[in-house]
């Protein structure tokens, strides 16, 4: 696995004990990470976005959300001068598969 690939579990691996699987809403978001709006079960964790700059000097902002249904944490990245945003799950063992 390269440094840029997200970890995943194999199809026959079971989730870690006590860690629920992602809900259908989070699985749909994982399948369409360019959608602009959060699904209705995501709760904003902080009111102010983190504003920073990439190593290449591109400014971006980040908001953190947590799913009220399954607990999956998502980061929403919005880069300056780009039409699309990126949703990135903050991976937990067994959260998405």
Predicted confidence (pLDDT) at residue 10 exceeds the cutoff of 80: no
Residue 45 within a domain? yes
**Parallel/antiparallel/unpaired status of strands 59-67 and 50-53:** antiparallel
**pLDDT one-digit tens code per residue, 57-66:** 888 899 999 9
**pLDDT one-digit tens code per residue, 12-46:** 334 444 445 889 999 988 888 777 788 889 999 88
**pLDDT one-digit tens code per residue, 64-95:** 999 999 999 999 888 877 777 888 887 554 54
In whole angstroms, what is the distance from residue 7 CA to residue 59 CA?
26
Residue 29 within a domain? yes
* Domain that residue 73 falls in: 24-90
The count of structural domains within the chain is 1
């Amino acid at each position: 696995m390269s440094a840029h690939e997200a970890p995943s579990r194999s199809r026959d691996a079971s989730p870690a004990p006590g860690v629920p699987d992602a809900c259908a809403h989070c699985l749909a978001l994982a399948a369409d990470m360019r959608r602009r709006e959060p699904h209705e079960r995501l709760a904003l964790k902080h009111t102010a976005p983190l504003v920073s700059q990439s190593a290449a000097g591109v400014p971006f902002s980040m908001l953190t959300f947590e799913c009220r249904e399954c607990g999956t944490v998502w980061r929403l990245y919005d880069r300056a001068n780009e039409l699309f945003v990126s949703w990135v799950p903050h991976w937990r063992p067994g959260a998405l598969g």
